[in-house]
């Protein structure tokens, strides 16, 4: 496993400030990793966006530091040879099996000095890379992808700030940190995103159970059969997937909680006990779809509760699970929509 304790970021005049920003923010706010910025002399630089930045240290001090990750942002200086003084630090870190993460113009600097000749990598365009780095011999290793990680080098194109951050997070297993995973989900279009919404009112036909964890497990493959059968007997028109609604379920084995198991229906009809049929009101919630076996639901719940905590919301103790697709023979195909009530 690649361990990340100290992240260093090289800054120079007119560096492309947006390129490392997402990766740096996630590391700074959701981990205990130390971020250190440095310039050649340690003096202030002006970013491409006009920000006046005072780095923490100089390049000479960085050469003596314990660095696990070096982030190299792009910028014209990276492409025209003005930043070659950082090359000894790159070589030193690679010998130490540390990680270099380069984006946009910084990939050109790596190509100019042979670092990309024998590893999978990407950049802004293979033709442009060859033009800017005449000695580049890694064309056969070039990949048409937003970001590529191979061995100890991560590369990305200049428009791939999100993919660049994700490649860094994955390289160091940082997406195992639930708050970081939740926060990054809002930027990562390949992820299943959490949503904050008001679920609309709907008609619900159900049976109520007062049970504990063991009793709940015994209902998994039996209770919904009774609900379907009774709904048909009562002439209900079913209009949605099965749902389980939990009140005050804390996951502890002996805690007794309320569990409503039922189906959305088109109209309200009078029903006899132990059945209920009513219109449920609008429901403020944070929700996310879980893809895969129910045994892994705890992971998705962990992400949601971590995100709710980040947003300083209060949970109501009322949660819904909607089983949009379930397959007991192939549970990897299950799709479960989780809605956690918030106030």
pLDDT in tens, the chain (343 residues): 589 999 999 999 999 999 999 999 999 999 999 999 999 999 999 999 999 999 999 999 999 999 999 999 999 999 888 999 999 999 999 999 999 999 999 999 999 999 999 999 999 999 889 999 999 999 999 999 999 999 999 999 999 999 999 999 999 999 998 889 888 888 886 655 567 788 999 999 999 999 999 999 999 999 999 999 999 999 999 999 999 999 999 889 999 999 999 999 999 999 999 999 999 999 999 898 999 999 999 988 888 887 787 777 899 999 999 999 999 999 999 999 999 999 8
CATH number of the domain to which 252 belongs: 3.20.80.10
Query: Are residues 126 and 240 located together in one domain of the fold?
Result: no
CATH number of the structural domain spanning residue 69:
3.40.50.880
Comparing CA positions, the residue from 319, 339, 88, 316 lying closest to residue 194 is: 339
Q: Output the pLDDT for position 194.
A: 65
On whether both 146 and 238 belong to a single domain, the answer is no
245 and 103 in one domain?
A: no
279 in a structural domain:
yes
- In this structure, is residue 128 part of a structural domain? yes
pLDDT at position 186 is 80
Q: Quote the pLDDT of residue 193.
A: 58
In 3D, which of 36, 305, 33, 324 has the Cα closest to residue 174? 33
Q: Is residue 233 part of a domain?
A: yes
Check whether residue 229 and residue 311 sit in a common domain. Answer: yes
**Residue 153 has what pLDDT?**
98
328 and 284 co-located in one domain: yes
* Residue 184 maps to a domain: no
Q: What integer pLDDT is reported at residue 62 of this predicted model?
A: 98
CA distance 271 to 234: 8
Residue carrying structure tokens 């036909």: 205
Residues 251 and 213 in one domain: yes
Q: What is the pLDDT of residue 229?
A: 96
Q: Are both 317 and 255 inside the same structural domain?
A: yes
Let me know whether 154 and 250 are in one domain: no
Q: Is residue 132 part of a domain?
A: yes
Q: Which residue, 176, 205, 237, sits at the end of a domain?
A: 176
Tell me, yes or no, whether 57 and 152 share the same domain: yes
3-state secondary structure string across 95-117: HCCCEEEEECHHHHHHHHCCCCC
| Separation in Å, CA 52 to CA 19, 105, 136 | 16, 21, 34
pLDDT given at position 188: 82
Residues 89 and 225 in one domain: no
**What pLDDT score was predicted for residue 335?**
97
Shared domain for 162 and 272, answered yes or no, is no
Q: Are residues 38 and 81 in the same domain?
A: yes
User: What is the number of structural domains in the chain?
Assistant: 2
Range of the domain at 276: 196-342
Q: Secondary structure of the chain in the HEC alphabet?
A: CCCCCEEEEECCCCCCCCCCHHHHHHHHHHCCCEEEEEECCCCCEECCCCCEECCCEEHHHHHCCCCCEEEECCCHHHHCCCCHHHHHHHHHHHHCCCEEEEECHHHHHHHHCCCCCCCCECCCCHHHHHHHCCCCCCHHHECCCCEEEECCEEEECCCCHHHHHHHHHHHCCHHHCHHHHHHHHCCCCCCCCCEEEEECCEEEEEEEEEECHHHHHHCCCCHHHHHHHHHHHCCCCECCCCEEEEECCCCCCCCCEEEEEEEEECCCCCCCCCEEEEEECCEEEEEEEEECCHHHHHHHHHHHHHHHHHCCCCEEEEEEEEEEECCCCCHHHCEEEEEEEEC
Count the alpha carbons within 13 Å of 228 in the hemisphere toward its beta carbon: 8
The answer to whether residue 250 sits within a structural domain is yes
User: Which positions ≥6 away from 76 have C-beta within 8 Å?
Assistant: 14, 105
């Amino acid at each position: 496993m690649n361990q990340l304790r100290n992240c260093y970021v090289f800054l120079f005049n007119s560096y492309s400030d947006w390129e490392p920003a997402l990766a740096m923010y996630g590391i700074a706010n959701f981990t205990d990793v130390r971020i250190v910025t440095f310039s050649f002399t340690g003096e202030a630089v002006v970013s491409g966006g006009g920000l006046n930045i005072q780095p923490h240290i100089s390049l000479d001090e960085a050469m003596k530091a314990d660095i696990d990750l070096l982030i190299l942002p792009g910028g014209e200086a990276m492409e025209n040879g003005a930043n070659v003084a950082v090359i000894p630090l790159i070589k030193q870190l690679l010998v130490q099996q540390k990680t270099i993460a380069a984006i946009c113009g910084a990939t050109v600097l790596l190509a100019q000095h042979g670092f990309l000749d024998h590893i999978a990598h990407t950049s802004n365009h293979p033709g442009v890379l060859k033009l800017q780095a005449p000695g580049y011999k890694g064309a056969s290793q070039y990949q048409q992808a937003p970001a590529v990680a191979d061995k100890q080098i991560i590369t990305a194109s200049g428009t791939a700030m999100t993919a660049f951050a994700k490649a860094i997070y994955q390289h160091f297993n940082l997406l195992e940190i639930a708050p970081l995973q939740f926060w990054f989900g809002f930027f990562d279009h390949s992820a299943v995103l959490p949503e904050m919404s008001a679920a609309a009112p709907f008609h619900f036909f159900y049976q109520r159970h007062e049970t504990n964890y063991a009793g709940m497990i015994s209902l998994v493959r039996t209770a919904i059969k009774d609900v379907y059968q009774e709904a048909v007997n009562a002439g209900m028109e079913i209009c949605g997937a099965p749902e389980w609604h939990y009140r005050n379920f804390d996951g502890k084995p002996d805690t007794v909680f309320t569990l409503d198991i039922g189906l959305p229906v088109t109209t309200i009809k009078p029903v006899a006990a132990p059945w209920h049929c009513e219109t449920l009101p609008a429901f403020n919630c944070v929700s996310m779809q879980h893809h895969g076996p129910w045994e892994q639901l705890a992971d998705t719940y962990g992400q949601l509760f971590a995100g709710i905590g980040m947003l300083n919301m209060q949970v109501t103790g009322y949660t819904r699970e909607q089983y949009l697709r379930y397959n007991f023979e192939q549970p990897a195909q299950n799709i479960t929509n989780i809605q956690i009530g918030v106030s």
